[in-house]
Amino acid sequence: MSEISELEMSVAFDLTLKMNQIKGIPKFNLLYREVICQQGIADFVGLTSGDFIRRYNFSNISSIESSSLVLSLLKHKSGRSKMYLKNKTELSDATLNRTLKELAANNYIFEKNNLYFISVQNTAPKDNIWAFELKLSNWKRAMFQALQYKAFANYSVVVFPLEKEKVLYENLQAFIEFNIGVLLYDAKTGNNKWLKHPRKEKPISKWQTMFLLAKTSSQYSQETPIF
């Protein structure tokens, strides 16, 4: 049994990330804790670039879910009809019309010849997005949650106390199969050890990536980031 709580571990890990003291993890331009995603709540989400977050402000958008869904379907040079968007999103007419109106009012999209386009070219996020799941025990639960974060993250990592090395090593093949990083961390000393470093991957869902960035953009516009 670990002598520290998950909260204490989280606070210590937060500081270690900010100080960029873990080899193999870049210095993050933006770092957020307890980020509510489409599937679960990531303990930490780190972005190496804040370009998208600073460019977009979703605080004036009534529904991040519907707006991120629509944005994920639009392109800069190839227009989408309202019928196409309705069929793809399955949004009601009222919700879709409101979403399109709000996105246009904020200059995120524009309409031409009854087709909708995204306003800024190359809006696909260039960030390296990292997601972290901290656990004191229960590696299966940690792996399941980290697997959900692959929908939006380029890297997904589980973080456990150093004393869990034996059980994690015995089950390391499962993490290797799903390309989930396994990091051992001592909250008291900051010492850390990789059992498996994740490879960079393209997020599974453009919508969930856009949703995650919209959530953090909204948070960024309303409060001071962690650093």
Q: For residue 226, what pLDDT is reported?
A: 47
Contact 154, 201 (CB under 8 A): yes
Chain centre distance of CA 120: 21
Query: Alpha-carbon torsion 57, 59, 62, 65, what sign?
Result: positive
The pTM of this model reads 0.86
Q: Which amino acid is at 16?
A: T
Walking along the chain (227 residues) 10 residues at a time, the average pLDDT comes out as 81 94 93 85 90 74 90 91 95 96 92 91 66 96 96 96 96 97 96 96 90 79 52
Q: For residue 93, what pLDDT is reported?
A: 95
Q: For residue 212, what pLDDT is reported?
A: 87
Distances (CA, A) of 122 to 19, 73, 75, 77: 31, 13, 9, 10
Q: For residue 16, what pLDDT is reported?
A: 95
